[in-house]
Structure 1
Amino acid sequence: MKKMILLAFIAMVTLSTVSAQMQSFKFKQAKRKYIVYLPKTYDAKKTYPLLYNFHGGGMTATEQMFYSGMNKTADKLNFIVVYPSGINADWNVGFEMSYLNGTDDIGFIKALNDTLRRRYNINTKAVFATGLSRGGFFCHRLATEMPETFAAVASIGGALPDSVKYYKRSDQKIAVMQVSGTADQVVNYNGKAGAYSSALSTFDYWISHNRLSLKQKKERSIDRDKKDGTSILITEVADQGTEVMLVSIQEGGHTWPGSDPFNIGFPLGKTSTEININELMWDFFSRNKKP
């Protein structure tokens, strides 16, 4: 995605608050940055769930913080949010770089997680990840390579990369939510040959990975706002303590549902106001903590 200069400026004002802090450490000769947001009621004596929120390609951690509106949700539901920053505003999922020999983002997240656990009182059974676009693609990589760390992931506008399937590292079960717009012109709902799966194939992959029974499949629709031009179809399978969910935004674009729409130079499509995706995913996460 192109830079959102105005959003970055506004978000920098947000960073001036005590609760959101830009931090960094050196990892493999590179300075890796990240923002940590502590909920307003943070008490160092208590344990807190932790949510990683990954920016899209070409975006910054600051922009993702502002656009997703996750800090407000963290205040309401009482969890810590970390917004990591990718090298060259990207995440290694095997696109335009070597999956095995490109930027070691998996190593960075492992090191970052160790750092956060030393500094904050983290509930290790409630560590989750979400992300937009390239950040969403990266959530699928985390699900296959760090299931011992993450209890669940939620990908917004980024389906399962072919490279993640090819280099699958673990058979460990993990809860996955996939959120995709059927009219997304950036990451096609029906997939892209040689790059990534369709939204439906992504859903099916994680059902198979988690060895779930389709007999438990449920669907529900949401269409409260007749003016936004979208509707929601939620398909979910939950069995044996693990859940997989597909949130299909009918006529939705390459956007974060429930957020303020924006234009950054190319058509992103419609933003659904049918759901607050932050609260929907947190409900999903809360049901899928590690035992």
Structure 2
Amino acid sequence: MMGCFAYWHVSRKRLQAFENPKNEDVKISRISKKRISFFIIILGIITVLMFIAFLLLTRQQKSLNRPSYTYPGSHDLSINIDGAVRNYRIHIPATYDHEKPLPLIIVLHWFGGNPRIMEAATGFSLKADKENFIVVYPEGNLPDYSWNAGFCCGQALQNNVNDVEFIRRLVEKTMEDLKIDPKRIYVVGVSNGGMMAHRLGAELSDIFAAIAVVSGSIGKDPDGHLIIPAPSGPVSVIIIHGEQDQLVPYYGGGRFREIFASISECVSFWVKANNCSSNPQVETSSDGNVVKNVYSGGVEGTEVVLYTIIDGDHSWSFRGISTTDTVWEFFKNHPKP
């Protein structure tokens, strides 16, 4: 009897289900929708995770492809220039992130100097950390650490080394490896390095926005003509020179076989090249030791600035002025347009 009742109960439910098929369809539909929604959510999460993983892998790959020296600090490196190995030192500020383009300053040492000494003497690496720019200290030609400025000095001149090409290639390599602002590339040099800076400004005005020359001059040939060509484009110039300089005389000439143009002639060369005003604005320090002449109004906003240090001799450092700070402020205010 109980078995018959159970059979009747189950059969009744089946009959009800058969008689009301829509109820089952609704339940199945609801379950299907829930499952589809669940799968869509899971699929979305998986897609997001895969995208994040792709970005991380891409960034990691870029990091692996970067040269090891592209991280903050000072690094000693070399580059092959037409079969010759040339050395240099580079300093990258702690704030460098491989994304934001930074200014680049090439710093040229004096005859007999070297990159490490120049880094210590100028303090440009410390300045770079504060102001966020990259510094490269190229090494002159061995064994005397000289630069071929076209008329001076040492082995570089005797062997007719193409230091212009060295600096050009060095800038190009640095731009390949690091994020450099092409409108803010500069060169500064002292003594023989300053002479080289004059030459680079004249021959590589397509690269350099501005140059700085400290205790350096332009050479003259036996007929009294300046040995560097007129630049193909405008380039701002700052010159800092001691009036008591006996090695590279402020008023020209020379104690050795080199013939130096006077600092006034150097200034006139750049004023004419940039079409600046020939009437400078003159400022003198309170003690009279530092005289600043500003020749403004040049092509594309270029300027030529001369700092005469009355008691200054042949040096990088002078009383009453910070050479490094002065040069950086000038560079900072004179990018290419």
Q: TM-score, normalised by structure 1?
A: 0.82
Task: Give, in angstroms, the shift of residue 40 of structure 1.
Answer: 2.1
Task: Tell me the equivalent position of 1:128.
Answer: 186
More strand per residue: 1
Is the 1:159–1:178 contact (alpha carbons within 8 Å) kept by the matching residues of 2? no
Secondary structure at 1:67's aligned position in 2?
A: helix
Tell me, in whole angstroms, the C-alpha distance in 1 between the residues paired with 2:232 and 2:276. Answer: 13
The alpha-carbon distance between structure 1 residues 38 and 254, as it changes in their structure 2 partners (threshold 3 A), is: same
SS in 1 for 2:127: helix
Q: Which amino acid aligns with 2:136?
A: V
Measured after TM superposition, the shift of residue 101 of structure 1 is 6.8
Higher relative contact order (CA 8 A, sep 6+): 1
Q: Which of 112, 124, 127 is the matching residue for 1:73? A: 127
Q: CA deviation at 1:254?
A: 1.2
Confirm or deny that 1:159 pairs with 2:217.
yes
Farther-moved stretch of structure 1 (203-212 vs 116-125): 203-212
Match of residue 198 from structure 1:
262
Q: Which runs of 5+ in 1 are unaligned?
A: 1-16, 225-229, 258-270
Question: 1:86 offset after TM fit, Å?
Answer: 1.0
Extract unaligned runs of 5+ from structure 2. 1-70
Q: 1:239 aligns with which of 289, 294, 297?
A: 297
Report the RMSD for the aligned CA atoms in angstroms. 2.1
2:273 equivalent to 1:213:
no
Note the C-alpha offset of 1:201. 1.4
Measure how far apart 1:151 and its partner are.
0.4
In the alignment, the residues of structure 2 paired with residue 235 and residue 120 of structure 1 have an alpha-carbon distance, to the nearest angstrom, of 36
The runs of at least 4 aligned residues of structure 1 exceeding 4 Å deviation read 96-101
1:173 counterpart = 2:234: yes
Alignment partners' CA distance in 1, 2:231 and 2:167: 17
- TM-score, normalising length: structure 2: 0.71
CA contact 2:199–2:228 (8 Å) conserved in 1: no
Question: What amino acid sits opposite 2:308 in the alignment?
Answer: S
Structure ranking higher in helix proportion? 2
Question: Which string of whole-angstrom CA distances, capped at 9 and with x for unpartnered residues, describes residues 108-147 of structure 1?
Answer: 1111111101110000000000011000000000011000
- Rounded to whole Å, the distance in 2 between the matches of 1:197 and 1:150 is 23
Give the SS at the match of 1:290: coil
The size of the alignment, in residue pairs, is 255
What per-residue deviation string (whole Å, max 9, x for no partner) do you get for residues 23-53 of structure 1? 1021122110110101122221111000000
Q: Deviations over 1:213-258 (max 9, x none)?
A: 224x10111246xxxxx8210101110401001110111111112x
Q: Distance in 2 between matches of 1:284 and 1:78?
A: 15
Instruction: Tell me which amino acid in the other structure corresponds to 1:213.
Output: S
Letter in 2 for 1:173: P
Q: Is the aligned partner of 1:143 residue 2:201? A: yes
- Asked if residue 248 in structure 1 is aligned to residue 295 in structure 2, the reply is no
Report the AA paired with residue 89 of structure 2: I
Identity of aligned residues (%): 29
Match of 2:139 in 1: 85
Matches within 5 A, 1:89-108: 89-93=145-149, 94-95=151-152, 96=154, 102-108=160-166
Tell which deviates more after alignment, 96-105 or 187-196: 96-105
Q: CA 1:34–1:97 in structure 2 vs 1: closer, same or farther (change >3 Å)? A: closer
The 3-state SS of whatever aligns with 1:166 is coil
- Select between 193-202 and 78-87 the one with higher mean Cα deviation: 193-202
The alignment status of 1:110 with 2:173, answered yes or no, reads: no
Residue aligning to 2:102: 48
